[in-house]
Amino acid sequence: MNNNGFKNGALLGSIIGASLGMFFGARMGPMQKRKIVRSARRATSTLMNGINSLWG
């Protein structure tokens, strides 16, 4: 696997995800934001656990 291409893709994906998150975050109410933030935290921790298990 090309490690450099993976890093570039991850960086591009995070930039696109952050910009889309800001766009949709400005258009929703506070209850929806709270629910999405909670699920995003859970997804981030799951992703980190998966990456650590691949490296470890």
Give pLDDT tens digits for 9-45: 777 888 888 888 788 777 878 788 788 888 888 888 8
C-alpha to C-alpha distance for 54 and 26, rounded to whole angstroms:
35
- Both tokens assigned to 49: 């656990």
Distances in whole angstroms, Cα of residue 39 to Cα of each of 9, 27, 30, 33: 23, 18, 14, 10
Q: How much is the average pLDDT of 46-54?
A: 81
Query: According to the model, what pLDDT value does residue 13 have?
Result: 81
pLDDT at 1 over 60: no
Place of tokens 């490296």: 55
Query: According to the model, what pLDDT value does residue 34 have?
Result: 84
pLDDT class of 56 with cuts at 50, 70, 90: low
- Both tokens assigned to 8: 């570039």
